[in-house]
Structure 1
Amino acid sequence: MRRRNTFRAVLALATALILPGAVAAAAPGGVAAATPVGTHGKVAVCGVKLCDSGGKPVQLRGMSTHGLQWYSQCVNDASLDALATDWKADVLRISMYIQEGGYETDPAKFTALVNRYIEDATARGMYAIVDWHMLNPGDPNYNLARAKTFFTEIAKRHSGKTNVLYEIANEPSRVSWAKIRSYAEQIIPVIRAQDPDSVVLVGTRAWSSLGVSEGADEQEIVRNPVRADNIMYTFHFYAASHGAEYLNTLSRAADKLPMFVTEFGTQTSSGDGGNDFSRSQQYIDLMTAKKISWTNWNYSDDHRSGAVFKQGTCKAGPYPGTGPLKPAGQWVRERVLSGR
């Protein structure tokens, strides 16, 4: 009996090494548990949906890191194990700020961090979103040269993987859709030259609100979409600030455009304040019904209410279960687990 169990454990480990991303750690009884990447394979855009390798629409659910310049200590083996096995998340969004003490201060350091976290997500069978977290200034063209350098390096290194998605502009603001579109049409070929098949996520106007926060809506993209294949458009919302107009815009857009909610919170747009779980649930219901993938902001122990962990958790954990979580963290974990 002991010999048989040992053989099963060795077989599971060997399979994991041969097929990275295809299986997770051995489950009780030595049976390998499926991972999101092992289940869905390389995702792609089909029509207005994100689809698995078999062409079936899929919804990915997971978490976004906080800025790596502030909270990289929260992204460690124990916390990622909890995200993959306790939360059963499909996807990790790796948020690398450009300004605000981020990439521009030390490109080599931050590129190495992103590479490390992509490998960590891959080892756990999760998808990884590489988030070029431009915020201020709001025109993505300000960082065009930096973006070309970064995405060339990242896409070249990870082009053989099945689990990497590229988010090329976090939250454009105070800039026209025409300029955002021009930026995208310059960056996407840079990625495609190294990694021709992965999904690219394009930020939308007015802090990725599809223009709503600056008096526009999804029609400017419907009329003038980015000229590229296998792309999706991003939408961000904070439920205590963004009510029915934002919700209805996302609903309409998802019928015409491939949408991915790469950032949301249950609080105000500052990522702080009281939680509006009622409005948040309306968004969750919509995203579930229309299979819109999402990542929540954020997987850290920042003092704001939108950080899922209680302050001090990242010093030593523990991370699994509801004990270390703030109210928003408990609520979001349940939605990651259940999808509803």
Structure 2
Amino acid sequence: MRPARIRTRPLGSAGALLAALLLALTVLGLPAAVGADRGTVNTSPGPTAATPVAANGRLTVCGTKLCNEHGKPIQLRGMSTHGLQWYRQCVTDGSLNALATDWNADVLRISMYVQEGGYETDPRGYTDLVHSIIEKATSRGMYAIVDWHMLSPGDPHHNLSRAKTFFTEIARRHGAKKNLLYEIANEPSGVSWSRIRSYAEELIPVIRAQDPRSPILVGTRAWSSFGVSEGSDEKEVVNNPVRASNIMYTFHFYAASHRDEYLNTLSRAADKLPVFVTEFGTQDYAGEGANDFTMAQRYLDLMAKKKVSWVNWNFSDDHRSGAVFKTGTCANNGPWAGTGSLKQAGVWIRERVRSADGFSTGATG
């Protein structure tokens, strides 16, 4: 049983009746809304004792791990939206119901591009959209990563003023919630680690003034590869960490492009630093082409062993192979649950989000 699914109290008489109901549904061949290890049937989008947030509470960084409110290391697994400026129609009540109760996801990453037609074109509109999606994730008992999806230009200082404005409002409105994580720089590139570190050390206090307790996720050099994609490695972060507490460092990989050098870097980094894989795919670095499920499973096995949380890219119907839904699914408003609307990568990743421990089952989707 995954720690993120731990039942924190005995079932009691009401729980016993509920367990009997689940057993009856199983005998009759009817689908229960959630797995038996969650301890309840989820009949509404509101949080219950079975949801990841209800079971684990506010998260914190303890040593190199992400821990729940009881101090127990956990591993979150879930999905990232695509850019909201293009694919907000894929983030609906129906799709999020499926993500929470069919996929059994713990976490939703809300990817708001800063450039590329995103936040900078309508700060008020995109901030309100993120507010709305945070509330949707919260009502379903999922954790929400607020992703400041800076990509080009690669220097996070370019958007520092915007980031201060955005995160101040997000943290002020949602900081009392137990399910927030802030990802403050998606994929820095073309700049030194010291430059990224200085950005983090300027922005983090702004967030902490509004929300002193939620974890903050810091992007690493060279598209969040710990510098590997620009000829470095994790030692630059190990030797010069951000001077702040309750933070983690992000790592991104795409299995068909990022081979053993990247896998070994992740393994070493996770032994010395708190790491969260906030984006990965089973295809090439552009989220396109053939899936390499064998290499991707090696990453998943490593992350399960070391309790590194992960989020897959992406929960949309983009034409690329990395989008989990078949093209047209979002325009047709589903169907969202099951595998009928999923591409090959979607079938594969849904199985692994749903699985009990994330380790290889030998299946290739």
Shift of 1:25: 2.9
User: Which position in structure 1 is the counterpart of 2:335?
Assistant: 318
For 1:53 and 1:179, the matched residues in 2 are separated by 33
**Distance across 2 between alignment mates of 1:81 and 1:24:** 13
Query: Counterpart of 2:32?
Result: none
Partners of 1:226 and 1:24 in 2: CA distance = 42
Residue of structure 1 equivalent to 2:137: 121
Q: Is the 8 A contact 2:78 2:311 kept in 1?
A: yes
User: 1:102 and 1:209 mapped to 2: Cα distance?
Assistant: 24
Work out whether 1:50 is the aligned partner of 2:80. no
- Matched residue SS, 1:314: coil
Deviations for 1:7-60, whole angstroms, at most 9, x for unmatched residues? Answer: x99xxxxxxxxxxxxx87349xxxx66000011111100000000000000000
Match in the other structure for 1:68: 84
Corresponding residue number in structure 2 for 1:304: 320
For 2:302, the equivalent position in structure 1 comes to 286
Distance in 1, matches of 2:223 and 2:129, equals 25
SS in 1 for 2:289: coil
Q: 1:176 corresponds to which letter in structure 2?
A: S
1:336 matched to 2:338? The reply is: no
Q: How far apart, in 2, do the equivalents of 1:196 and 1:220 lie?
A: 27
Query: For 2:212 and 2:49, how far apart are their aligned partners in 1?
Result: 30
How far apart in 1 are the matches of 2:50 and 2:143?
14
Distance, in Å, in 2 between the alignment partners of 1:334 and 1:283 is: 15
Distance, in Å, in 2 between the alignment partners of 1:99 and 1:296 is: 22
Q: Give, as a single letter, the amino acid of the residue that structure 2 aligns with 1:204.
A: T
TM-score, normalised to structure 2, is 0.85
What CA deviation, in whole Å up to 9, does each residue of 1:190-245 have, x standing for no partner? 00000000000000000000000000000000000000000000000000000000
Residue equivalent to 1:327 = 344
The answer for the alignment partner of 2:3 in structure 1 is none
- Unaligned runs of 5+ residues in structure 1 are 10-22
Q: 2:122 aligns with which of 102, 106, 109?
A: 106
Q: For residue 186 of structure 2, what is the aligned residue in structure 1?
A: 170
Match of residue 160 from structure 1:
176
SS at match of 2:272: coil
- Among 247, 257, 267, the residue aligned to 2:283: 267
The aligned residue for residue 192 of structure 1 is 208
Residues 154-178 of structure 1, C-alpha deviation per residue, up to 9 Å, x if partnerless?
Answer: 0000011000000000000000000
- Output the CA distance in 1 between the equivalents of 2:118 and 2:288: 22
Give 5+ residue unaligned stretches, structure 2. Answer: 1-13, 19-39, 360-365
Q: Distance in 1 between matches of 2:353 and 2:182?
A: 21
Q: 1:33 to 1:56 in 2, by over 3 A?
A: closer
Does the Cα contact within 8 Å between 1:24 and 1:33 map onto a contact in 2?
no
How far apart in 1 are the matches of 2:286 and 2:354?
A: 26
Which residue identity is paired with 2:348? W
CA distance in 2, matches of 1:194, 1:45: 18
> What SS does the corresponding residue of 1:25 show, helix, strand or coil?
coil
Which of 201, 218, 222 does residue 202 from structure 1 map onto?
218
User: 1:122-271, aligned counterparts within 5 Å?
Assistant: 122-271=138-287
Q: Do the aligned partners of residues 333 and 130 (structure 1) sit closer, same or farther apart at CA in structure 2, a change above 3 Å counting?
A: same
Report the AA paired with residue 242 of structure 2: V
Secondary structure of 1:131's match? strand
Letter matched to residue 323 of structure 1: G
Q: Structure 1 CA distance, aligned partners of 2:186 and 2:135? A: 22
Equivalent-residue separation in structure 2 for 1:39 and 1:323 (angstroms): 31
Runs (4+) off by over 4 Å = none
Letter in 2 for 1:42: R
Deviation digits for residues 96-126 of structure 1, max 9, x if unmatched?
0000000000000000010000000000000
Secondary structure of the equivalent of 1:241? coil
Instruction: Output the CA distance in 1 between the equivalents of 2:175 and 2:242.
Output: 22
CA RMSD of aligned residues (A): 1.6
Between the aligned partners of 2:121 and 2:259, the Cα distance in structure 1 is 37
Give the conservation status (yes or no) of the 8 Å contact 2:42–2:101.
Answer: no
Give 2:341's aligned amino acid. P
Q: Does the C-alpha gap of structure 1 residues 146 and 337 become closer, same or farther in structure 2, counting only changes over 3 Å?
A: same
How far is 1:87 from its partner? 0.1
What is the number of equivalent residue pairs in this alignment? 318
The structure-2 alpha-carbon separation of the partners of 1:330 and 1:168, relative to structure 1 and needing over 3 Å to count, comes to: same
Partner SS state of residue 114, structure 1: helix
